Amino acid sequence: MSTFKAPKGTYDLLPPDSATYLAVREAIAAPLRNSGYGYVETPGFENVELFARGVGESTDIVNKEMYSFTTRGGDQLALRPEGTASVLRAALEANLHKAGNLPVKLWYSGSYYRYERPQKGRYRHFSQVGAEAIGAEDPALDAELIILADQAYRSLGLSQFRILLNSLGDKECRPVYRAALQDFLRGLDLDEDTRRRIDINPLRVLDDKRDDVQKQLVGAPLLRDYLCDACKAYHEQVRELLTAAGVVYEDDPKLVRGLDYYTRTTFEFVHDGLGSQSAVGGGGRYDGLSEMIGGPALPSVGWALGVDRTVLALQAEGVALDLPAATSVFAVPLGEEARRVLFAKVTEVRKAGVAADFSYGGKGLKAAMKAANRSGARFAIVAGERDLAEGVVQLKDMESGEQEAVAVDEIVAVLQGKLG
C-alpha cells in the first residue's frame, strides 16, 4: 500500500468489477445511440456562474455541494455537479440549435462531483450517463426519453425499479401554486432552516425526509391541483404515450427534484433494493434553462442515470451481467524461440478480433498455466522447442482439458473457427 488513499467519498474502479461499470454505461447508451442522440463531451469544470444560474442559487447542489475554486488566473470555476447546464451551454455556444434540426439530441457519459456526506450510493465523485433533447416542446419527446431509460434498465435485467412521474407546471401556474404552498408551510411548526427554505425554495420542503416534517405535510396543497390547462393537457399526453408504450409508472404528486430548472414533466427512477439512496436516475423538462443562462427560448427535456447506483441495483437484484470474456486465448511459450513465434501469433489472433494475452516475464510452465487459468481464457496455446521443431503448437481447451497439436500456420484460423 502507498501512503495515499482515494479521497473520502471516492473509490476506484478496478478489474474485474470495472467491466460491469463499462457494460452499464454501454447498456444505457445503446438505446440513445439507436434513437438519434449524438455523443457530446464537455469539460469537467465550468464557470461557476453557469451552475449557480442553471441549477439554482437556492439548491443544496450549488450552495453546499459544489467544488468551486479560483484559478491562478482568477477565473471562478467549479467541478461539474451535473451535466445538463454544461451540455446546454455547449450546444448554445456551437449554435447547434440554429442548424435547423430541432430537437438537438445529445447523450453523454462522465464524472460528476458533489461535496456530499458520503454513504453507500452517495459519493463525492460519481458517474452518470445522460441525455438531453434540446429545443422542442413535444410530449412525445418526454415520453421517448422515459421509454429509453426504461429500455436501458430492462436490457440490463433490472426489474425492481419504479418510475415516479410528476408535472411541476410552468411559469403560468407554478407561481400561483408556490404562493399557496408558502401560505400553508408558514402555518407549520418548522425549524429555522426549513423556514428560510419556505421563502427561497418552498417546493424543496415537500422533499424533506424527516418524519415529523412529513407528518405536517399531509394536506399540503399539491401542484397537480394548480396546473394550468396547457400543463395538464401536456402531462396527460405524456402519460398516455407511456401507457401506450407499455411503460409502467406511478404518479407522484409530491415528486420534486434537487435542481431548480425543471418545468412540467419531472420523473425519477427509484430502486427498492437501495435503501435511502434509492434514486438511480432522474430528469425532466427544463423549458426555461436556456434563457436562464443567456440563451434564446429553447424548451428541452433530459435525464441522467447514475452509473454507481445502477451497479448497486444490479447487485441488489443479484443480476450478473453476461460479460464477454476479457481473454479468449492465452499463449504460453516455453523457451526463446517459442516466445518469438507465439508473440507473433498472439498479435495475429488479436488482429483477427480474438481477445488474446501472453505469458510475460519468462514464467515456467506451471506458473504460466496458472496465469492462463486466471485469465479466464477458453484456450491456451502452449509451445516448446520440440513442438516448434515439428511445426506445431499445443492447443489446450481450458474447459475440457483436452489438448491437440495444431500446425503453427493453421492456429489462427483454427482459433477463429472455434471462437467465431
Residue numbering of the annotated binding site for L-histidine: 82-84, 114, 128, 132, 257, 261-262
Binding part of the chain for ligand HAM, among 43-51, 123-131, 319-327, 390-398 by CB under 6 A, reads: 123-131
First CA to last CA distance, the chain: 41
Task: Report how many residues bind ligand HAM under the rule CB under 6 A.
Answer: 26
Residues comprising the binding site? Answer: 82-84, 114, 128, 132, 257, 261-262
Collapsing DSSP to helix, strand or coil, 154 comes out as: helix
The residue within the footprint of ligand HAM, chosen from 50, 90, 242, 280 (CB under 6 A), is: 280
Give CA–CA dist 100/96, Å, rounded.
Answer: 8
CB of 82 to ligand HAM, least distance (A): 4
**Residue ranges of E strands in 209-354:** 250-251, 263-271, 279-285, 300-306, 329-333
Q: List C-alpha distances in Å: 276 to 158, 209, 212, 289, 386.
A: 19, 10, 17, 29, 63
Q: Cis omega (within 30 of 0) on the bond before 43? A: no
Question: Scanning the structure block, which residue is given the C-alpha cell 433494493?
Answer: 273
C-beta of 260 vs 387, nearer to ligand HAM: 260
Among 104, 146, 242, 279, binds ligand HAM (CB under 6 A): 279
Would you say 154 or 418 has its CB closer to ligand HAM? Answer: 154
**Does residue 371 contact residue 358 with C-beta atoms inside 8 Å?**
no
3-class DSSP state for residue 340?
helix
The reply on whether position 130 binds ligand HAM by CB under 6 A is yes
Rounded to whole angstroms, the Cα distance separating 63 from 125 reads 17
Q: Which is nearer to ligand HAM, 279 or 356 (CB)?
A: 279
CA nearest neighbour of 265 among 281, 280, 282, 278: 282
Minimum distance between the CB of residue 193 and ligand HAM, rounded to whole angstroms? 21
From the CB of 361, what's the least distance to ligand HAM, in Å?
A: 39
Task: Quote the least distance from Cβ 409 to ligand HAM, whole Å.
Answer: 53
Footprint of ligand HAM on residues 281-340 (CB under 6 A)?
A: 281-284, 286, 302-304, 306, 308-309
CA distance 391 to 388: 5
Contact window for ligand HAM (CB under 6 A) among 76-84, 99-107, 329-337, 350-358: 76-84
Beta strands 392-397 and 379-383: pairing type? Answer: antiparallel
Amino acid (1-letter code) at residue 157: G
To the nearest 5 percent, what fractions of the chain are helix, strand and coil? 40, 20, 40
Radius of gyration of the chain (CA): 27
The least distance separating ligand HAM from the CB of residue 377, rounded to whole angstroms, comes to 35
Site for ligand HAM in 81-120 (CB under 6 A): 82-84, 114, 116
Other beta carbons less than 10 A from residue 302's beta carbon: 26
CB of 221 to ligand HAM, least distance (A): 24
Q: How many CB atoms lie within 10 A of CB 328?
A: 21
Helix or strand or coil: residue 14? coil
Complex with ligand HAM: residue 37 or 286, whichever CB lies closer: 286
Beta strands across the sheet bearing 68-70: 45-47, 76-79, 68-70
Question: Based on CB atoms, which residue is closest to ligand HAM, 118 or 221?
Answer: 118
CB 280, min distance to ligand HAM, A = 5
- Cβ proximity to ligand HAM, 83 vs 135, nearer residue: 83
CB 386 within 8 A of CB 334: no
CB of 281 to ligand HAM, least distance (A): 5
Least distance from ligand HAM to the Cβ atom of residue 311, Å: 10
d(CA 332, CA 368) in angstroms, rounded, equals 6
> In the window 232-271, what residues touch ligand HAM (CB under 6 A)?
258-259
What DSSP character marks residue 3? S
Q: Which of 128, 151, 166, 265 binds ligand HAM (CB under 6 A)?
A: 128
Q: Which residue is at the shortest CB distance from ligand HAM?
A: 306
Among 108, 123, 153, 226, binds ligand HAM (CB under 6 A): 123
Name the residues that contact ligand HAM, by CB under 6 A: 82-84, 114, 116, 122-123, 126, 128, 130, 132, 258-259, 279-284, 286, 302-304, 306, 308-309
